[in-house]
Amino acid sequence: MSGVHEGGCLCGAVRFRVTGDFEHFFLCHCARCRHDSGSAFAATLFSGAARLDWLAGREQVRTFRLEGSRHGRAFCGRCGSALPLETEGAGLAVPAGCLDGDPG
């Protein structure tokens, strides 16, 4: 799960590149992740050291942070697709489905 990974949103307005290693991949099924994803779980890659670069559409990126928790999400303001979120103190959280290819 290392290297350079690119991805974007459904409508194509937002594009990004992640450079570095992913240390963890989780299929979280907590209530927050189920509500957030609208599915039985959220598939998310995590990195404490990878760099996120917005290639296009940075102005379309919106964030939501659930008050009183560490839970948050980033998404495209046009189509609502999930996008990477830089978390406070924990690094980068990347929804697996927004990547163009297989992260390994």
Kindly tell me if the per-residue pLDDT of 44 is higher than 60: yes
Question: CA of 34: how far to CAs of 20, 52, 71, 99, in Å?
Answer: 28, 25, 12, 20
- The whole-angstrom separation of Cα 84 and Cα 2 is 16
Stronger pLDDT, 2 or 81, i.e. the higher one: 81
% residues pLDDT > 70 (the chain): 98
Hey, what are 12's tokens? 């194509």
**What's the pLDDT score for residue 102?**
84
Average pLDDT over residues 7-15: 98
pTM of the prediction? 0.90
Domains annotated for the chain, with CATH where assigned, are 4-98 (2.170.150.70)
Kindly tell me if the per-residue pLDDT of 90 is higher than 60: yes
